[in-house]
């Protein structure tokens, strides 16, 4: 037996009570992916401390050489091998005394104070340390930019087009990986002089390979997703697919790789300068200062301690920040 059909009339519908003059409201402020990542990064004490340390050292690299009247190249043999001396920091050993406890400033009749001491040529180590930090960070930033420009473009094109294009481009990368950076540096030194130019050119040839492989792997995973297929169906051009859909979705991996590229570049430059293939005097880098301090660390250990502390803190800070960014940008780490 079928039930009679009920006629649907307007009186069956009742409007929900709403306050007059009040529009729709969201229950809370919408949280974007980057704001959520920043919130998680701030909760990571090690990563946030690393970020603050990097900012502090970057500022000191810019303003540190101008805090004294001495240039990093000024030489005065009458001021050679002076130990550190700073007012108010005598309890840390900054009292101008050498290993024998003799106040070298009073013994030589020197009224000027050098916070980090001087080297064998009488150059102010405070100015040289921060100038060296500036140069080392500059080389590291250049390496990061090369990774960002060459590596992302090369890896993106290789993964997106695939097939024969991908095979040819990956064979080129395999050849470049097989060439040690040190060999490339030596070849450039035979053509050019040791210095920043040789290091940067070596990075141009081989430094971006790691970034290219990371970007290629990420895009290979993403280009088969449904939203990419939908964009293709709607007639989106290849350039828009790459730069509007694929690259923004691998930006997290790109940022993390950059954070680990910078300390690697700093160490690479320091290693080259330590073995005499990097910057040459009177230019200063952290590797140059460590190499100079290594020669006389038995009697003038402060020459090695200060640049070693700076390069160690910078590299640890970048690694802590890289680990924190990896956790913050990974949705699986969300609690």
CA distance 166 to 159: 6
- Which of 47-51, 72-76, 94-98, 220-224 is predicted with the least confidence, judged by mean pLDDT? 94-98
Q: Which residues pair with 229 in a beta bridge?
A: none
Specify the fold of 35-81+118-333.
Answer: MetI-like fold (1.10.3720)
User: Exposed/middle/buried for 290, CB within 10 Å: 0-12, 13-18, 19+?
Assistant: buried
Portion of the chain with pLDDT greater than 90, in percent: 8
Residue owning tokens 């059909």: 5
Burial (Cβ within 10 Å: 0-12, 13-18, ≥19) of residue 230: exposed
The whole-angstrom separation of Cα 273 and Cα 257 is: 24
Domain locations in the chain as residue ranges: 35-81+118-333
Dist CA 209 CA 217 (whole Å): 13
Q: In sequence order, what DSSP letters do the residues of 176-207 get, joined into one string?
A: HHTS-HHHHHHHHHHHS-SSHHHHHHHHHHHT
* Distance in angstroms (rounded) separating the CA atoms of residues 191 and 86: 45
pLDDT of 223 reads: 81
- Mean pLDDT, the chain, whole residue set: 80
Longest dimension (CA), the chain: 119
- The single-letter DSSP state of residue 333 is G
Find the angle CA(233)-CA(234)-CA(238) to the nearest 5 degrees. 80
Q: Compute CA distances 78 → 75, 82, 118, 235, whole Å.
A: 9, 10, 11, 75
96 CB burial (10 A radius; 0-12, 13-18, 19+): buried
The DSSP secondary structure of 53-88, one letter per residue, reads HHHHHHHHHHHGGGSSS--TT---GGGTTPPPB-TT
Which pLDDT score is estimated for 310?
A: 92
Q: What pLDDT is attached to residue 38? A: 81
Helix, strand, coil content of the chain in percent (nearest 5): 65, 0, 35
132 three-state secondary structure: helix
Q: What is the pLDDT averaged over residues 195-203?
A: 78
| Helix 163-177 with 196-206: angle, nearest 10 deg | 140
Q: Using one digit for the tens of pLDDT, what is the confidence trace for 129-148?
A: 999 899 888 888 888 888 88
**Range 81-90 average pLDDT:** 75
Q: pLDDT tens digit string along 292-302?
A: 888 888 888 88
Q: pLDDT tens across 259-272, in order?
A: 888 888 888 888 88
Q: What is the pLDDT of residues 150-189, one digit of tens each?
A: 888 888 888 888 888 889 998 988 888 887 777 877 777 7
- Cα distances (angstroms) measured from residue 144 to each of 98, 141, 148: 41, 5, 6
């Amino acid at each position: 037996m079928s039930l009679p059909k009920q006629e649907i009339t307007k009186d069956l519908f009742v409007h929900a009570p709403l306050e007059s003059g009040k529009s729709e409201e969201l229950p809370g402020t919408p949280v974007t992916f980057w704001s959520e990542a920043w919130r998680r990064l701030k909760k990571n004490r090690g990563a946030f401390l690393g970020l603050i340390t990097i900012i502090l050292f970057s500022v000191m690299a810019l303003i540190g050489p101008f805090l004294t009247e001495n240039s990093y190249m000024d030489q005065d043999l009458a001021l050679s091998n002076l130990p550190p001396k700073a007012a108010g920091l005598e309890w840390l050993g900054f009292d101008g005394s050498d290993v024998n406890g003799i106040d070298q400033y009073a013994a030589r009749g020197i009224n000027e104070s050098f916070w980090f001491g001087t080297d064998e040529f009488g150059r102010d180590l405070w100015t040289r340390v921060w100038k060296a930090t500036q140069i080392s960070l500059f080389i590291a930033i250049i390496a990061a930019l090369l990774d960002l420009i060459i590596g992302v473009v090369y890896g993106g094109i290789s993964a997106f087009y695939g097939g024969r294009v991908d095979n040819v481009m990956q064979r080129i990368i395999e050849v470049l990986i097989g060439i040690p950076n040190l060999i490339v540096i030596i070849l450039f030194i035979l053509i050019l002089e040791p210095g920043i130019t040789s290091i940067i050119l070596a990075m141009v040839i081989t430094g971006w390979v790691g970034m290219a492989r990371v970007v290629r792997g990420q895009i290979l995973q993403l280009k088969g997703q449904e939203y990419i297929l939908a964009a293709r169906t709607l007639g989106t051009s290849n350039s828009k697919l790459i730069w509007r859909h694929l690259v923004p979705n691998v930006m997290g991996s790109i940022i993390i790789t950059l954070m680990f590229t910078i300390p690697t570049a700093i160490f690479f430059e320091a290693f080259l300068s330590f073995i005499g293939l990097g910057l040459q005097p009177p230019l200063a880098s952290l590797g140059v200062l460590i190499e100079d301090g290594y020669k006389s660390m038995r009697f003038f250990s402060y020459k090695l301690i200060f640049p070693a502390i700076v390069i160690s803190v910078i590299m640890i800070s970048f690694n802590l920040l890289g680990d924190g960014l990896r956790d913050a940008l990974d949705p699986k780490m969300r609690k």
